[in-house]
Chain A
Amino acid sequence: MTRDEKKNKRLVGLFLLGWVVFNFPILSLFDLDRMIFGIPLLYVYIFGAWALLIVLMALNTGVRASKFKGHTDK
Chain B
Amino acid sequence: MLETGTILFVSFGYMGLLFAIAYYGDKRADAGRSIISNPYIYALSLAVYCTAWTFLGSVGFAVRSGLGFLAIYIGPTLMTMLGWLVLRKIIRISKIHRITSIADFIASRYGKSTTLGGIVTFIAVIGVIPYIALQLKAVSTTFLLISQSTKIGFAEISIFGDTAFYIALILALFAILFGTRHLDAAERHEGLVAAIAFESIVKLAAFLSLGIFVTYVTHNGFADLFHKASLFSDLKKTFTLHTNGQVPGGLEEFLTLNAQGQSYLDWFMLLMLSMLAIILLPRQFQVAVVENVNEEHLNKAIWLFPLYLLAINLFVLPVAFSGMLKFPDGSVDADTFVLRLPMVERQPLLALFVFIGGMSAATGMVIVETVALSTMLCNHIVMPILLRLPIPFFSQRTDFSGLLLAIRRGSIILVLMCGYEYFHFISEFYVSLVSIGLVSFAAVAQFAPAILGGIFWKGATRSGAIAGLIAGFTVWVYTLFLPSLVQAGLIPQEFVNHGPFGIDLLRPFQLFGLMNFDRYGHSFFWSMLFNVAIYVGVSIFSRPRAIDHTQAALFVDVFKYSGEASETQFLRGTAPLPDLRSLLERFLGRKRANEALKNYAVRHNINWDYSLTADAGMVSYAEKLLAGTIGSASARVMVSSIVKEEALGIEEVLNILDETRQVIAYSRDLEKATAELKEANRRLEELDRLKDDFISTVTHELRTPLTSIRSLAEILNANPNIDQKQHENFTGIIIKESERLTRLINVVLDYEKIESAQMTWVIAPVDLKEIIQDAAASTRQLLTDKQVTMDLDLPEISPKVSGDRDRLVQVMVNLISNAVKFCDSDRGFITIRLKPNSDRIQVDVQDNGIGIKPEDQAKIFEKFRQVKDPTRGRPFGTGIGLSITKRIIDFHHGKIWVESEPGRGSTFSFTLPTARE
Chain A residues proximal to chain B, CB less than 8 Å: 7-8, 11-12, 14-15, 18-19, 22-25, 27-28, 31, 33, 35, 37-40, 42-43, 46-47, 50-51, 53-54, 57-58, 61-62, 65
Contact = CB atoms under 8 A, between A and B. Distances in A.
A25 B263 CA distance: 12
Contacts of B81: 11-12, 14-15, 18, 53, 57
A27 B77 contact: no
Given A43-B255, A53-B77, A23 B264 contact: yes
A22 B82 contact: no
A18 B310 CA distance: 14
Contacts of B80: 57
Nearest to A65: B299
A7 B82 CA distance: 11
Nearest to B80: A57
B224 interface: yes
Contact of A54 (B226, B256, B307): B307
B303 A38 contact: no
Contacts of A24: 264-265, 267-268
Contact of A39 (B226, B252, B307): B226
A65 to B, nearest CB: 5
A33 B233 CA distance: 14
Nearest to A46: B70
A31 B257 contact: yes
Interface string B700-739: 0000000000000000000000000000000000000000
B580 interface: no
B74 A57 contact: no
Nearest to A25: B264
A41 B388 CA distance: 62
B78 A57 contact: no
Contacts of A61: 84, 299-300, 302-303
B407 to A, nearest CB: 41
Contacts of B264: 23-25, 27-28
Nearest to B81: A15
A11 B82 contact: yes
A51 B310 CA distance: 8
B77 A18 contact: yes
Contacts of A53: 77, 81, 306
B296 to A, nearest CB: 8
A65 B82 CA distance: 18
Given A11-B302, A61-B84, 7 more contacts: A8-B84, A18-B77, A22-B78, A33-B252, A54-B77, A61-B299, A62-B300
A58 B77 contact: no
A58 B299 CA distance: 9
Which of B81, B82, B300, B317 has most A Cβ within 10 Å?
A: B81
A59 B84 CA distance: 15
B256 A31 contact: yes
10 contacts: A8-B84, A11-B83, A15-B81, A15-B82, A19-B78, A35-B226, A40-B251, A42-B256, A53-B306, A54-B77
A14 B496 CA distance: 42
A54 B257 contact: no
Given A24-B264, A57-B306, A38 B227 contact: yes
Interface string B243-283: 00000000110011110000011011001000000000000
Contacts of B303: 54, 57-58, 61-62
Nearest to A7: B84
Which of A24, A31, A54 has most B Cβ within 10 Å?
A: A54
Contacts of A25: 264
A53 B82 CA distance: 13
B314 interface: yes
A39 B304 CA distance: 26
Contacts of A28: 257-258, 264
A35 to B, nearest CB: 7
Interface in B295-330: 299-300, 302-304, 306-307, 310, 314, 317
A67 B580 CA distance: 49
B212 to A, nearest CB: 16
A50 B314 CA distance: 11
B300 A27 contact: no
- The 9 closest A-B CB pairs, nearest first, are A38-B223, A24-B264, A57-B303, A15-B81, A58-B303, A40-B255, A18-B78, A62-B300, A11-B84
A15 B256 CA distance: 24
A62 B297 CA distance: 10
Contact of A12 (B71, B85, B300): B85
A57 B67 contact: no
A53 B258 CA distance: 24
A22 B251 CA distance: 21
Contacts of A22: 71, 74, 78, 271
Contacts of B71: 22
